[in-house]
Chain A
Amino acid sequence: MSDARDDIVTVGLLAEGMHDPGVPPAGIRRAPTGVDDLATEHLIVNMGPQHPSTHGVLRMLVELDGEEVKNAEVTLGYLHRGIEKLAEHRRFDALGTLMDRGDYVSGIMGETAVALAVEQLMEIEVPRRARWIRVMMAELNRIATHLLWYGTMGLDTGAMGPFLYAMRDRESLLDILEAVSGARMMFNYVRPGGVVADLPVSIEAKIREFCDAFDTYVDEHDAILAGNEIFQARLDGIGVIDAEMALAFGLTGPNLRASGVDFDLRKRRPYDAYDEMIFDVPLGVTGDAMDRFSVRMEEMRQSSRIIRQCIEGMPEGGYTAKVPKVLKPPAGEVYASVESARGEVGIHLVTDGGTSPYRMHYHGPSLYALQALEDLMPGYLLADGCIMIGSADIMLGEVDR
């Protein structure tokens, strides 16, 4: 699959030798075998669309035998806004606003995907400073996204405290993102050609202050949950997605890497300034919920590392290339993808020489993770299903689009 590389770190309980690979960890509850002997009438439970464990407007129809899931079916569409259709009626520089409303927690990365697609078509050379700013903003956004996931993952296992700590750190991040872009969620900051404005004066000090604090906090976050015996018992060995299954279901991002597949677009298809950054790619071993947790925790540390490099080495120069006010790419077809917080966000853009896309397809990783969940949940207890949804970190905004 890959050459031996020194920029990979293996994470997870197994990697830390906390239990023998062959022996199931103590405390794992499984549906008892032989339930057919005591068969009860199956119950269809309508979980969602407003259930807190579904992380958005996801509705799952779950067929239960006692507490064991027999079948699970995902029902979607509660957040469908027709983003792909709307894109056909937007100017190219306004497509980022639609991406912000897709995965509305990782807006910077979605905006970057669209910008890269337009830049490819128009052969726009993005200034080096703009590329570095994009990388820094994307990594700040990645930590903010992972922190939200971390907090809700804690809630899924009954831990309230980690959510509050995560929101404390996320608040500092959103302040920084707001100072740079003017918005806390719908950034509309990355545009074809660069970014919309240069970094504000003295923002570097604020970011450095955040990184200094966060490097300590992230270890605390990790220890609070991963060091907790109950949390380990709830995640360890749950929802195992091996590499073969991950590839079959088209998983990308942290969910894929937790299954041990070494593929990170920032390394394999470097865009913006990622080829100038030094960072490690965390990989899981077993592909269970605990590995997905550990991979994301390590990714936050690596993001902080990248942000520090950006602050220290931020090049001088322009923050955007000279681009026309109304963008009019030539007729053509491109596919641009970025490593977003939840996986690969791809934009398949087809143009006809006009001022709007002829067709824009928005690929998000969460739809593919949901397919795997349908296959994964049967055989587990319903409570384990909530852990699987939480550990897969789905975003309904980009599923429904």
Chain B
Amino acid sequence: MLPDANEIRTLLAGSGVDAEVDTVLLGTVARVQAADAIDALAAFRADGYESLVDFDGMDTGEAIELTWRLRSYSMDCEAYLKTTVPYDAEIHSAWNIYASALMPERETAELLGLRLAGHPNPKRLFTTDGIPPLLRKDVPIRSVEEVKNR
């Protein structure tokens, strides 16, 4: 179910967050500045979006785009929050707003080469030290020949 874009705009404006809100094929998406992301998440949480059901990032070729997928069970709807951060940026953890952010944040930071601030356990989740951020576009996958000859 899609929440109303105007309602989301009003909700975020009430928390002093300037957001661009649109309803697109993905759903109702609010874009905010990176510095406002935590405030925006807190506003969503206070408004009845009880659960962060997904968090991921994408290398756009110029920066890293982060997407939070929020669900309100009471209002039966989902909303998306997006922000863009530079490569190697430090992002602030949202774990004390949504506990479900704990591991997905570690995963995203590790695989896209970001640093985590305010996270209780900011370690790598899947890969070992020395492995480059695999989901960056400039990290190629190895061919069969390369793997054979390594």
Contact = CB atoms under 8 A, between A and B. Distances in A.
A80 B127 CA distance: 8
B100 A363 contact: no
B56 interface: yes
Contact of B100 (A76, A344, A371): A371
Given A77-B126, A250-B98, A371-B99, A120 B25 contact: yes
Contacts of A367: 103-104, 107
B106 to A, nearest CB: 9
A98 interface: no
A74 B125 CA distance: 9
Given A1-B74, A76-B125, A85-B135, A334 B141 contact: no
A335 B78 CA distance: 11
| B interface, over-half SS | loop
| A interface, over-half SS | mixed
Interface in B93-119: 98-100, 102-104, 107, 111
B83 to A, nearest CB: 15
A85 B99 contact: no
B144 interface: no
A261 B125 contact: no
| Size class of the A contact interface (CB-based, 8 Å) | 35 or more
A335 B26 contact: yes
Interface in A365-400: 367-368, 370-371, 375, 400
A85 B73 contact: no
Interface stretch (B8-16, B36-44, B46-54, B84-92): B46-54
Given A77-B125, A77-B127, A82-B134, A252 B53 contact: yes
Interface of B: 1, 24-27, 50-54, 56, 58-59, 67, 69, 73-74, 76, 80, 98-100, 102-104, 107, 111, 121, 124-128, 134-135, 139, 141
Given A250-B54, A335-B27, A361-B56, 18 more contacts: A1-B73, A76-B125, A76-B126, A77-B125, A85-B135, A86-B141, A247-B51, A247-B73, A250-B98, A333-B26, A344-B53, A346-B54, A348-B56, A348-B67, A350-B58, A368-B100, A371-B99, A371-B102
